[in-house]
Amino acid sequence: MKFASTRLIAADIKSMVAFYEMVTGHSAEWLAPVFAEIVTPAATLAIGGAETVALWKEGSAEPRANRTAYIEFQVDDIDAEYKRLKDKVPLVHELKTMPWGNKTFQFRDPEGTAVSLYMPATDAAKRRFASR
């Protein structure tokens, strides 16, 4: 398992992406109209529009609040990780493939922070992560 990214949920995704592009000096890669990533040498900052929250679970995050970050870890075998953890963590949602190509499940840590484990599932997602 490796630390993969931090995701922020934005009410105005275009402004948020532009701000972080300016701050980091890196251009965002738009993977969907509601999802962009800013990849730096050490980590990735992912920014999702508020409407992406419903893809996870309605109300699981909200922009401009203290529930805007998802901590994500990329794993080699999402099915094995799900099997290993599903009865040990409070699940937010079960396994699903997101529009940008990752197969994922989500749970909360003891403090309530959303944590997601994922692996690239589509060919496009696998190619995207192969270059990292």
User: Are the CB atoms for 99 and 56 separated by under 8 Å?
Assistant: no
| pLDDT, the chain, mean | 89
**Residue 73 predicted with pLDDT over 90:** no
Q: Is the pLDDT of residue 62 over 70?
A: yes
What is the reported pTM? 0.66
Instruction: Say if CB 89 and CB 106 are below 8 A apart.
Output: no
Provide mean pLDDT across the span 91-102: 95
pLDDT in tens, 11-28: 999 998 988 897 888 999
Domains of the chain from N-terminus onward: 2-130 (3.10.180.10)
Nearest to 14 by CA among 44, 34, 38, 43: 34
